[in-house]
Amino acid sequence: MNQRISFRSLLALCAAVICVLYGVCFPASAEANYTKFTRRETSIFDTEISFIGFASSEEAFERAYAPLIEMLEKYDHIFDAYNAYGDLHNLYYVNRHAAQEPVEIPDELFDLISWCKAQWNAGMRTTNIAMGAVLTIWHEYREAGLADPNNAKLPPMEDLIAASGHTNFDDVILDDENKTVYFSDPLLTLDIGAVAKGWAADAVVPYLYEALPSFLLSLGGNVYAGNAPMDGRTNWAVGVQDPQANALTVAVGGTEILDVVDVHDLTVVTSGDYWRYYMVDGERYHHIIDPDTLMPSRQMLSVTVVCESSALADFLSTTLFVLSYEDGLALVESLNGVEAMWVLPDGSVQASSGMSRFARKIN
Ligand code: ADP
Ligand code: MG
């Protein structure tokens, strides 16, 4: 629970930074017909959702906003790994029943699992949503360590190795016709945390384009920027958090913001070692696990991805967080319409060849 609170407060800080930046950069609406409205939501996706939209009136904004929240709630329930909702065949249900028999699941979940399996089949195996067995162990030790910091422990490596024998995506059997999922390994479970928010963002974006002339959606820092803001500016300004910033560095004149990314009709997604972590013997152990070492990856402090698809950006931000900079750069350069920015363990910043179009400090 503590972890949830600190995670939320961090996300709230990020959302606030994004909003403050926006306010500083675009103080007044130049287009008198449209007004900017801002809303926050903390009860969905265990994260802070912030939304900015331009609309002709508050009523028009509310008419657009209410269905957005309904849609996000629907995705939240379907993707929830910890709670049941009546007889909904959500992720929680799947992880408990799919090894006994094929489970018919909602299209929303089926499509996400299929897409992740297609990435796996294409050889992109660093982000593996079939790694639930390993990730659950880390989750339990992290929760226990946050609840009782003096007794925080690392999971025993033999437990992690045993669990890693049950993470083969080939054991997730999908039936396209009947929309069922079946686990041929009874100890396998799915953890879709690496892609769920991006997937949900992509699912609501087409609706938002129809509902409002301009919007910015942030699902816990997973940002999608719609048409340019209706105030004469050509882009939304999205702050990328400095992964090394803390209260002390900020107090002595540092800033929470590493860089600002100027975008429209694009998504900006960051994976960082500061989102979710716990401390063991003075060392930070975060939530993105290298499937080879079974330990939190030490390759990066953060990775930010800019592209059109939020699901792809979410998937890639986790992937690039685990890959070396060289391997990650080669991957990004091989993909059309994808740019990335890395913060390495020494604090230095690297970027893909086209990132300078978006990030203010990249030349
Ligand atoms: P966040 O959820 O904080 O935005 P990410 O998108 O990088 O960050 O996703 C991290 C989550 O993904 C973890 O909390 C865990 O549930 C899951 N995860 C961690 N490592 C992996 C991995 N190698 N493959 C697939 N999922 C992972
Ligand atoms: Mg991700």
Please give the pLDDT value at position 29.
Answer: 45
**Which position has the token pair 């699912």?**
203
Please give the pLDDT value at position 330.
Answer: 98
Ligand 2 geometric centre to CA of 231 (Å) = 31
- Tokens matching residue 27: 């103080």
For 124-157, b/e burial (b = at least 16 CB within 10 A) is: ebbbbbbbbbbbbbbbebbeebbeeeeebebbee
CA 298, 309, 76, 118 torsion-angle sign? negative
Residue 219 and residue 339: Cα distance in Å, rounded? 20
Angle formed by the axes of helices 2-25 and 132-147, to 10°? 90
Residue 140 and residue 156: Cα distance in Å, rounded? 12
Query: 291 in ligand 1 pocket by Cβ < 6 Å?
Result: yes
Q: What is the pLDDT along the chain (363 residues), one digit of tens a residue?
A: 344 445 555 544 454 455 445 544 454 444 669 999 999 999 999 999 999 999 999 999 999 999 999 999 999 999 999 999 999 999 999 999 999 999 999 999 999 999 999 999 999 999 999 999 999 999 999 999 999 999 999 999 999 999 999 999 999 999 999 999 999 999 999 999 999 999 999 999 999 999 999 999 999 989 999 999 999 999 999 999 999 887 667 677 667 999 999 999 999 999 998 878 999 999 999 999 999 999 999 999 999 999 999 999 999 999 999 999 999 999 999 999 999 999 999 999 999 999 999 999 998
Please give the pLDDT value at position 1.
Answer: 37
Quick one: which atom of ligand 1 is closest to the CA of 126? Answer: 23
Ligand 1 geometric centre to CA of 269 (Å) = 12
Ligand 2 geometric centre to CA of 322 (Å) = 11
Please give the pLDDT value at position 73.
Answer: 98
Please give the pLDDT value at position 21.
Answer: 56
Mutational test site, ligand 1, from 191, 270, 305, 309, max ligand atoms within 8 Å of CB: 191
Cα angle 73, 77, 81; round to 5: 140
Residue 350 and residue 237: Cα distance in Å, rounded? 20
- Tokens matching residue 321: 């967080």
Please give the pLDDT value at position 294.
Answer: 98
Query: 45 in ligand 1 pocket by Cβ < 6 Å?
Result: no
Please give the pLDDT value at position 308.
Answer: 98
Rounded to the nearest angstrom, the gap between the alpha carbon of residue 112 and the centroid of all alpha carbons in its chain is: 14
Please give the pLDDT value at position 316.
Answer: 98
